[in-house]
Structure 1
Amino acid sequence: MTTFIFDVLKDLQNNQENLSELTFILPSKRAGLFLKHQIAQATQQTIFSPKIISIETFVEELSGLKAVSNTELLFEFYNVYILNSNKNHVDSFESFSKWAQILLQDFNEIDRYLIPQKSIFEYLSDIQDLKHWSIEDNQTDFIKKYLAFWHRLNNYYSKFTEVLLSNNIGYQGLIYRVAAKNIKTYIQNNTKNTHVFLGFNALNSAEEIIIQSLLENKLAKIYWDIDSVFINNPKHDAGLFTRQHKKNWPYFKNHSFNWITENYSKEKNIHIYGIPKNISQSKYIGSLLNNIKKEQGSLDHTAVILGDENLLVPVLNSLPNNINALNITMGFPLNSIPLASLFEQLFQIHKNTTDSFYYKDVINVLSHQYIRPLFYVDGEDHASKIIDTINVNNIIYLNTQRLKNISNLSSDIINMLFYNWDKSIDTVLKNCIQLILFIKNHLDKNKQAHLLSLEYLFKFNSLFNELTRLNSEYNHIKNVSTLHSVYKELLSSETLDFQGEPLEGLQIMGMLESRVLDFETVIISSVNEGILPSGKSNNSFIPFDVKIENKLPTYKEKDAVYTYHFYRLLQRAKNVYIIYNTEIDVLTGGEKSRFITQLELENIHNISHQIITPKVPVIKATSNNVEKTPDVINRLKVIAEKGFSPSSLTSYIRNPLSFYYQKILKIKEHDDAEETIAANTLGTVVHNTLEDFYKPLVNSFLTIEIIKKLKTQIEEKVTFHFTNEYKEGDITKGKNLIVFEIAKRYVLNFLNIEIQDLKAGNQIKIIAIEAENKVSINIPELDFPVHITGKVDRVDQYNGITRIIDYKTGKVEQSKVEITNWEAITTDYDKFSKSFQVLCYAYMMQKYGTIQLPVEAGIISFKNLNAGFIKFGKKDAQNNKNKQQLVTEDTLKDFTSELKKLILEICSINIPFIEKDV
């Protein structure tokens, strides 16, 4: 395929130019690599390489100034701001940095376009005067300060530039302004050098002066990469700037305009795909590349242009395995790597000066992939020890000393992470650098396995060294919050560069890296409004109309820049794949780009437009079954000997697989710290309180006086049991205080119900409290003993009738303890688990000899105390009103039959544990 660079070289050769003596100036450094490669193909003999530089490097040479980072500019500007502001109204560095960033961008634009600084700043301050009626006498202090700020803008600018020039440094705009000023001197000293400018489009005023001066002095040639379709259409934004240059530059009145090509109208295969969401786009790019590789044999002339550079990682993860050569021009953002999340967590927990740390923050830090290994000492996992202690004791806030006491570690690692961050910024930076060295020393033990992580550490070490230098040189960082802001500013501009062969294989790049380069096959992603083009944004102190008046670029010009880059990629390409996101998202781009609509309306090319959706295979729902092995049966024999509890049996009814995990594999649910008291903790406290109250009353009749005395002990007992169960959790405020009061209210209401019963003349005798039972059950089909075991909350006699009572702190309705047919009691957990439990208790106690049938069995629900004792009942299938609520011999006979069937199913080697939908 033909390329713009190759055509330029051939034209220069045809004009008898000696390539070695030329100075090539391009929009980017990356284009220079391709130019060198093309020179080797264009020449038939060995020559010296010409000088090839980017426009930024050339302008720096002209100005004699060195470009510095945006962060360092902020620090320098803050010095100027302090010296030239009212000392009583100076912003902190953190506040200053928020608006100074915008002001520096405006300084940059004003200088790049050579706008008279004094006039525009005076104009801006006059506008503000008019807005705030400056001639009035009743201005508020706020308005006075606000207007004073605008009046000082010119002074800020002039003093700031003076400082920068005295140090031979500058921001981009200042460098351009000085370079434009120095161009005459440069021409005088370089009368024989020929400069070749190629591939430029949108030029600022300084660049125009520099290039035109060189052209007029016959020291330059310029080649435009523009197609006739764009430049000849006065409404096509791709040719907006080139039309202006051709029309306005005096040089082109007497010289030819190089070049206007006819490449765009040539036949192309353009495919447009609408795909939902970013990940789907990335996956489809991988699929396209796989097909292109199969069809063409290689990807040497293929480029993936990422409109949204956040797609880099998903695209890399979607690349097919058959790609051998790959070059990535954009760096991997440093704020996307795991180490960034660690320092973000540390800054977040230390921004608030406090001696205590929230337990989730501590756990997040200790669980981080780079920190956890540092706590493995002498074969012991001290991080797990700390986390388990937090969870078991419900520690919500803990300090550094407590962490040291729990871990029994040397204080170095604990101090680096949690201590001394409020002492000084130097200490914070020292902690961060020391932490990086700690991690490095650990990774060095197996260096080959951690090469990438060590690269991360090197980058972060450089970043914190830069922060240390800036802090020592300028001393503007006064607290952790300000340091965090500066850290994020530096982090956002840092990348981890990829290594690759820039001239071979697949190229993955951003839109701006594609300048001057041509590819046969182009895949462009995220072609949506708000991304390509970027859309309206006004991050500036200069109003729109003032920008128009002073010929500063607005969003229209910025959109035209993207339009040019987009269409230039299409000029010489043969196969074009344009992908956009069909799911409109305000944060990540809007509807499909106007570029797509414009392509379709031009009607120059045959364009296929498809909506692609991810292929979702039909996966049949299959239950997760576990076959029973001899080892499982042996484990079941042990459980049977120890005794099946009613809760374990209902667990099997609910989901056999849960029973397998909990009882066979002994996998317990992980207990996290309870920041808010959990429901099971509340239930335990209420149960234990009532046990304390009623255990001494076994074999006694209740009296009103006894119950009234118990009421006076509610506060003491509930507090005791909360302390015992909730450990160090705080029950003195917030939701926990509410739960604590609820527990007391549950107990009080229960005792009041007892008093009402006694006042009504009912006799209540306590038979047993928390009675433990273990009885055998005869199942002839099994060749091993089987027991049922469980603890009954309460057994009493109510007017001579024995009651078996199970406490529930949740809400239980009468329907939940009634059955119609016996077969359902071991199959439907939601409807009959309560009935199953109380009948298990009745069976055990009858077999144990504690009770004589008939009895009543049921639930007391603390959320439904008004229902009183909710009795088990067996309803007639034909007549629901016909209900038997006494547990008789026949009742237990029918229940025992179903219970045996259930245990046989559990212990049968032929019946697997089958997962149920719950």
Structure 2
Amino acid sequence: MTTFIFDVLKDLQNSNTNFSNITFILPSKRAGLFLKHQLSQLTKQTIFAPSIISIETFVEELSELRKIGNTELLFEFYNTYNQITKESEKDTFDVFSKWAQILLQDFNEIDRYLIPQNNIFNYLSAIKEIEYNHWSLEEDQSDLIKKYLAFWNKLGSYYSHFTESLLRKKRGYQGLIYREAVENLESYIQNNTGKKHIFLGFNALNTAEETIFQELLQNDLAKIYWDIDHVFFNNPKHDAALFTRQHRANWLYFKKHPFNWITNNYSKEKNISVFGIPKNIGQAKYIGSLLNILKDKNPALKNTAVVLGDENLLIPTLNSLPNDIEALNITMGFPLKSIPLASLFELLFHVHKTYSKSFYHRDVVNIVSHQFISVLFNDNASKIIETIDDNNLVYLTVERLKGIAPNASEIIDLLFSNWDCVDKVLENCLQLILYIKAYLDSNKASNLLSLEYLFRFNELFNELVRLNSEYNHIKDNASLYGIYKELLTSETLDFQGEPLQGLQVMGMLESRVLDFETVIISGVNEGILPAGKSNNSFIPFDVKVENKLPTYKEKDAVYTYHFYRLLQRAKNIYILYNTEADVLTGGEKSRFITQLELDQTHQIKHTIITPYVPVVNSHLNIVEKNNDLIQILKTVAEKGFSPSSLTNYIRNPIDFYYQKVLKIREFDEVEETVAANTLGTVVHNTLEDFYKPFKGSILSIDSIQNLKGKIPETVMHHFTNVYKEGDVKTGKNLIIFEIAKRYVSNFLDLEIQDLKAGNQIKIIAIESNNMAQIDIAELDFPVKLTGTVDRVDERNGVTRIIDYKTGKVEQTDVEVVNWKEITSDYKKYSKSFQVLSYAYMMQLLGSIKLPVEAGIISFKNLNGGFLKFAKKDKTGSHAKKDTLITQETLDNFSTELKQLIIEICNKEIPFTEKEV
């Protein structure tokens, strides 16, 4: 295929142009590399290479100004702002930077389009005065209105002072450079009468560019080549040729000279396929699939480009490329904000955004476990994390961290101390980079990429140091973080590649002037291609139209041109768009696709791609029992089955397998809010402390009454033991602490009420640990039952086995109708199973004499009193209940219990997961 660049060079060669004396001016630097390559293929003899520069470089040379970066421009502008604005009306640098960037963009546009500055600023000020008079009928203006109108009145002063300051330093932003270039144009023409300029591949031009181009053309110092197809040019409604039609109609030069070129490439046969794909990741994955198919016919993927409409697709696209691509060139830079090191500084700025002497445990864990920091801590990182979990530390001080890891004091200071001053923050960040570099240097060969990351961040922080020392505008961490984010967004890590070979991955703007045989364009959605309406400007739409400044309509036309120019010479075109609604984009395909389908120049194949979703048949886990597993179960049986482990098996056998066989326990993490089990433990332990001294004694009203004064101290003591260093003095935890005290107090009130009613209560045992052996003839190994009973007492001569529950329990939860169901229905009978297990154990041990009562005291249902286990003869409210546990009761229970244990230990019955 022939390219636009090659056609231009061929035309110049045919007109006997001496390439060595030419200055080629292109829209981008990248196009210059392709031009130089194609020139080498065209010429047969050795020549001096022509000068090949971008329009930005040419205009900068013409203006004799040096371009200033966007961030430094903001600092320069703040100097102007400080000098013009009254001290009482000044914004902080952080607030200023939010609106100043928009104003700087407006200054840039005004200058690029050579708008008389005073005219537009006076016009804007007058508009705001009219608006005020329209919506405010008050004679006296408020301070807010006065400041508002004063701001608009000062725009001209801001501009004049700012640009004069920059010009004195021979520096400028893009628009100012363009304006100065036009000012110097006459002098340049006089001093370069023998120089020939070739402009090629331009489309939308600002007023300054139009002036420069036309003056050079009129003085016979230049030649210009457009790249537009007649299909677009001859259609007055097609935006792809909006600007070239205007140039052809408005430039005096084209009244007498030919318009080069209107080509005829778009109408040639093309294979155009449009794919609607759900989500951005889906597009990235499909790009990989397309390239795999294309590689079969074109293994080197020569003349193939992947153009990303949405540049956020770069990383997922790179991860989706086939592994065996021979050559790859990525024109787009890898954004620094996507580099792993960026997350570290994000964490540090987040932690230190406000000064604090203590740090939230999750922030500490995130920092010390970060991939670039954990290596500096060695084993101290895991030690810190374990100490946080073990001691339930919600907040930590620097001193506590040093106490945990004294060997890492220096790095702890660097990460957590002295972040209250901007200079110290920057010093800490640079010092941290040096620490990481020293570690990475120890194994340089395998850490080259990480060292490259580190180098770019070192440059970034050094730039922040330079800006702050030169301008001294950053006064706090919030301002520093804002500027850091600004720099981070604009900085990239450039890839190394071969731009003239293999697959090319680029953004839409990088495709200017370049032609490819096969093109894959992704992200062709409304709001992306084209970008659509955006009003990031202080200048209203109608004022822009009046002054011939570009609006969103012109910006959309720019992208229309780039899109269709990519299609002009391409033969195979694959257009991808997202079919799903994503945050701010509506999942609507771009108007470009609709336009392609409607113009009927080419047959468009439109396909909706749905990702292959394998059918995953969900199945319940089944664990077969082998000899090793049986051996483990024998060990468990010998140590003793607890009622809770057996009810766990009833609920779901696979959970029993995980916990008792594999010994897997839940991950312990910091308990910021007191958990239900912690509350239960505290209440249990408090009652144990209170009642253990009464073991073997008959309770009296006075003895219980005396306990009430000890509640706050005892509850706090047990919270400290269980909740470790967690805070129970504020927030939800304070409420839970008060609930614990209330539970204990209410229980004691219930006890006093029972005693006042004339009942006699004698404490037999508190927190009684029991272990009893069960005789099971079917098993040839010992089986034990173990468990701790919260309380055993004797009330009016009847022995009671009591289990405390801080949760809600109703009487129906401790009633049994059918014995067979007690080992199968967890939800209905787990509480009954538990209290009967305690009674059965104690009966085997001879600790009790039948009949007895067993049941639950629920702290959330204290009005229910002692909820006794009951055997009902049938369901319904009139069923007969037997609340005394007799030998017959325990015989029936033991039969079911033994069958359950036999099932657990039966090699032929696997652990089968239940649907919970």
Q: Is TM (by shorter chain) over 0.5?
A: yes
Which amino acid is the alignment partner of residue 697 of structure 2? S
1:541-690 paired onto structure 2 within 5 Å? 541-588=538-585, 590-690=587-687
Given the alignment of the two structures, is residue 906 of structure 1 paired with residue 908 of structure 2, yes or no? Answer: no
Q: Is the CA contact (8 Å cut-off) linking 1:228 and 1:261 kept in structure 2?
A: yes
Aligned position for 2:499: 502
SS in 1 for 2:791: strand
Structure 1 residue aligned with 2:407: 409
Alignment partner for residue 489 of structure 1, among 476, 486, 490? 486
Separation of aligned partners in 2, 1:325 and 1:364: 38
1:157 and 2:159 equivalent?
yes
The Cα of 1:883 is off from its aligned counterpart by: 4.2
Partner-residue secondary structure (3-state), 1:666? coil
Deviation at 1:102, TM superposition (A): 0.6
Q: Secondary structure at the match of 2:128?
A: helix
Residues 295 and 301, structure 2, Cα contact 8 Å, conserved in 1: yes
> How well do the aligned residues superpose, as a CA RMSD in angstroms?
1.9
* Aligned position for 2:94: 94
SS in 1 for 2:407: coil
Q: Secondary structure at the match of 1:154?
A: helix
- Cα distance between partner residues in 2 of 1:544 and 1:287: 44
Residues 627 and 724 of structure 1, relative CA distance in 2, 3 Å threshold: same
Given that 2:62 and 2:185 are in contact with CA atoms closer than 8 Å, whether structure 1 keeps it comes out as: yes
Pick aligned residue for 2:367 from 365, 382, 401: 365
Q: Could you say which residue in structure 2 is the equivalent of 1:121?
A: 121
Partner of 2:327: 325
The Cα offsets for residues 482-524 of structure 1, whole Å up to 9 and x where unpaired, read as 1111111111101111111111111111111111111111111
Equivalent of 1:811 in 808, 812, 820: 808
TM-fit CA distance, 1:125:
1.4
Paired AA for residue 900 in structure 1:
K
TM-fit CA distance, 1:410: 4.4
Question: How many angstroms apart in 1 are the aligned matches of 2:540 and 2:839?
Answer: 84
Structure 1 residues 824 and 338: CA distance shift in structure 2, 3 A: farther
Larger displacement relative to structure 2 (582-591 or 275-284): 582-591
For residue 544 of structure 2, give the secondary structure of its aligned residue in structure 1: helix
Could you tell me which amino acid in structure 2 is paired with residue 13 of structure 1? Q
What does 1:726-745 align with in structure 2 at a 5 Å threshold? 726-745=723-742
CA shift for structure 1 position 586: 4.3
Question: 1:244 — aligned with what?
Answer: 246
* Alpha-carbon displacement from aligned partner over 1:227-275 (angstroms, at most 9, x marks no partner): 1111111111111111111100001111111111121122222211211
Say whether the 8 Å CA contact 1:110–1:117 is kept in structure 2: yes
SS in 2 for 1:114: coil
**Residue 52 of structure 2 aligns to which amino acid in structure 1?**
I
Q: TM-score, normalised by structure 2?
A: 0.96
- Equivalent position to 1:895, from 893, 896, 915: 893
- Structure 2 CA distance for partners of 1:389 and 1:551, relative to 1, 3 Å: same
Per the alignment, do residues 714 and 99 of structure 1 end up closer, same or farther by CA in structure 2, a change over 3 Å counting? same
2:770 is matched with: 773
Distance 1:814 1:506, change over 3 A: farther
Instruction: Give the Cα–Cα distance (whole angstroms) in 2 for the partners of residues 820 and 577 of structure 1.
Output: 70
Question: d(CA) in 1 for partners of 2:808 and 2:447?
Answer: 55
Amino acid at match of 2:36: K
Deviates more, 1:571-580 or 1:130-139: 130-139
* Residues in 2 aligned to 1:878 and 1:92: alpha-carbon distance in whole angstroms: 75
- Kept in 1: contact 2:645–2:656 (CA 8 A): yes
Give the whole-Å Cα distance in 2 for the aligned partners of 1:896 and 1:39.
Answer: 96
8 A contact 2:308–2:522 mirrored in 1: yes
Distance 1:363 1:504 in 2: 46
Contact 1:531–1:589 at 8 Å: present in 2 too?
no
Instruction: Give the whole-Å Cα distance in 1 for the aligned partners of 2:564 and 2:256.
Output: 29
1:3-152 paired onto structure 2 within 5 Å: 3-133=3-133, 138-152=140-154
CA distance 1:912–1:444, change in 2 (3 Å)? farther
Q: Distance in 2 between matches of 1:348 and 1:118?
A: 43
- Note if 1:257 corresponds to 2:255: no
Give the TM-score taking structure 1 as reference length.
0.96
Q: Aligned match of 1:827 in 821, 824, 827?
A: 824
Q: Which moved more, 1:619-628 or 1:226-235?
A: 619-628
1:336 to 338, 353, 357: 338
Measured after TM superposition, the shift of residue 610 of structure 1 is 1.9
Contact 2:817 2:875 in 1 (8 A): no
Contact 1:290/1:322 (8 A) holds in 2: no
Which amino acid counterpart does residue 413 of structure 2 have in structure 1?
Answer: N
Q: CA deviation at 1:627?
A: 4.2
Q: In structure 1, how many angstroms separate the alpha carbons of the residues matched to 2:451 and 2:405?
A: 27
Deviation digits for residues 71-122 of structure 1 (CA, Å, limit 9, x no counterpart): 0111111111111221222111111111110111011000100111111111
- Partner AA of 2:409 in structure 1: S
Q: Which moved more, 1:648-657 or 1:437-446?
A: 648-657
Deviations 1:134-168 (A, max 9, x none): 99751122222222222221111111111111111
Deviations 1:421-447 (A, max 9, x none): 11x322111110111111111122222
Alignment match, 1:399: 397
Asked if structure 2 preserves the Cα contact closer than 8 Å seen for 1:529 and 1:593, the reply is yes
Task: Indicate the SS of the match to 2:443.
Answer: helix
**What is the distance in 2 between the residues matched to 1:815 and 1:227?**
84
Which of 180, 183, 189 is 1:178 aligned to? 180
SS of residue paired to 2:442: helix
How far residue 667 of structure 1 moved from its aligned partner, in angstroms, is 2.9
Secondary structure of 2:23's counterpart equals: strand
Q: Deviations over 1:681-717 (max 9, x none)?
A: 1000111111112222222333333332222322222
Q: What is the deviation of 1:738?
A: 0.7
Deviations 1:299-343 (A, max 9, x none): 212211111111111111111223222111111110111111111
- Give 1:220 shift: 1.2
Is 1:514 aligned with 2:511?
yes
**1:783-824 C-alpha deviation (Å, 9 max, x unpaired):** 332211110111222333322221111112333333443343
Give distance in 1, aligned partners of 2:222 and 2:216.
5
Greater mean alpha carbon deviation, residues 645-654 or residues 320-329: 645-654
State the distance in 1 between where 2:913 and 2:608 align: 39
CA distance in 1, matches of 2:323, 2:874: 65
Q: Greater CA deviation, 805-814 or 56-65?
A: 805-814
Q: Give the number of equivalent residue pairs.
A: 913
Distance 1:446 1:777 in 2: 62
Deviations 1:762-803 (A, max 9, x none): 333222111000111123343332211110111222333322
Take 2:46 and 2:907, find their aligned partners in 1: how far apart are those partners?
83
Q: 1:722-871 residue pairs with structure 2 within 5 A?
A: 722-871=719-868
The one-letter amino acid paired with 1:854 is P
Query: Relative to structure 1, is the Cα distance of residues 491 and 878 closer, same or farther in structure 2, using a 3 angstrom cutoff?
Result: closer
Q: Aligned partners of 2:442 and 2:817: how far apart in 1?
A: 68
- What does residue 226 of structure 1 align with? 228
2:706 equivalent to 1:709: yes
Unaligned runs of 5+ in 1: none
Tell me: CA distance 1:535–1:844, structure 2 relative to 1, closer, same or farther (3 Å).
same
For 1:286, the equivalent position in structure 2 comes to 288
String of CA shifts for 1:701-749, please: whole Å, max 9, x gaps: 3333333222232222212211222222222221111101111111122
Preserved contact between residue 622 and residue 912 of structure 2 (Cα < 8 Å): yes
Tell me the CA shift for residue 624 of structure 1.
3.5
**What's the CA shift for 1:879?**
7.3
Q: Which runs of 5+ in 2 are unaligned?
A: none
Q: 1:734 to 1:799 in 2, by over 3 A?
A: same
Deviation at 1:571, TM superposition (A): 1.1
Question: Are the counterparts in 2 of residues 530 and 590 from structure 1 also a CA contact under 8 Å?
Answer: no
Aligned mates of 1:501, 1:877 — CA distance in 2: 85
Find the aligned partners of 1:885 and 1:42 in 2 and give their Cα distance: 105
